Amino acid sequence: MNLSQQAANSLALAGTIVGSIALLAALVLFIRMARLHRRYSLLQGSGEIDDFIGSVASQVSAVETLRAEVANLQDRLDQTRADVADALRHVAVVRYDAFGDMGGRMSFSAALLDDSGDGVVITSINARSEARTYIRGIKAGQSPSTPLSTEEEQAVQRALKAGSS
């Protein structure tokens, strides 16, 4: 064997080794690519609801629906709070004996107020032979037209305190 033949054999052997390594690398890359393709197929799926992307899309849709419902409920809650603020829900009653000869504190003043102190005071004065009942409008905890009696003022103040606690 001469030098050129030996060089050709060495080059052929080196080419075979490099070719084998390249073939092995191509096989490894093919296997990796197949795995990657399977994983991608799993993510993408066939468009059914069970695939990952379909599940995420349905969850995003469900979250958006829930957000809209929460916003609607928040609006309704705000409206309900405004309605409750206007309700006559602060109540206090003061019982007293309007006349010294009566026993049992049969007379009373009852304040019915909303959150802003608007409402009415109902007063019933009971004597032996008769009873009189009065009603006065209240605005911001005060009577705009006539002064309140001591008992009516107490009822209003107690109702306002009951509302603030």
- For 105, residues 6+ apart whose C-beta sits below 8 A from its C-beta are 95, 96, 97
Say which amino acid occupies 21.
Answer: I
Distance of CA 115 to the CA centre of its chain: 23
Pair 96, 56 in one domain = no
Give me the pLDDT at residue 47, please.
53
CA distances from 128 to 97, 110, 123, 151 (A): 11, 21, 17, 20
Q: In degrees, to the nearest 5, what angle opens at C-alpha 55 toward C-alphas 39 and 45?
A: 35
Distance of CA 11 to the CA centre of its chain: 77
Give me the pLDDT at residue 57, please.
81
Pair 99, 150 in one domain = yes
Concatenate the DSSP letters of all residues of 59-72 into one string.
HHHHHHHHHHHHHH
Q: How many angstroms separate the CA atoms of 51 and 14, rounded? A: 48
Give me the pLDDT at residue 163, please.
61
Pair 76, 61 in one domain = yes
Residue numbers of the chain with a pLDDT score lower than 70: 1, 42-51, 101-103, 163-165
CB–CB of 150/94 below 8 Å? no
Final residue of a structural domain among 85, 116, 140: 85
Pair 36, 54 in one domain = no
Closest residue by Cα to residue 132 from 85, 99, 84: 99
CB–CB of 53/61 below 8 Å? no
Q: Residue 29: what are its φ and ψ, rounded to 5°?
A: -65, -35
Q: How many angstroms separate the CA atoms of 96 and 78, rounded? A: 40
Pair 104, 150 in one domain = yes
Pair 35, 80 in one domain = no
Give me the pLDDT at residue 21, please.
95
Pair 138, 94 in one domain = yes
Pair 73, 137 in one domain = no
**What domain range is 120 assigned to?**
90-164
Give me the pLDDT at residue 68, please.
95
Give residue for tokens 């309704």.
Answer: 76
Pair 60, 34 in one domain = no
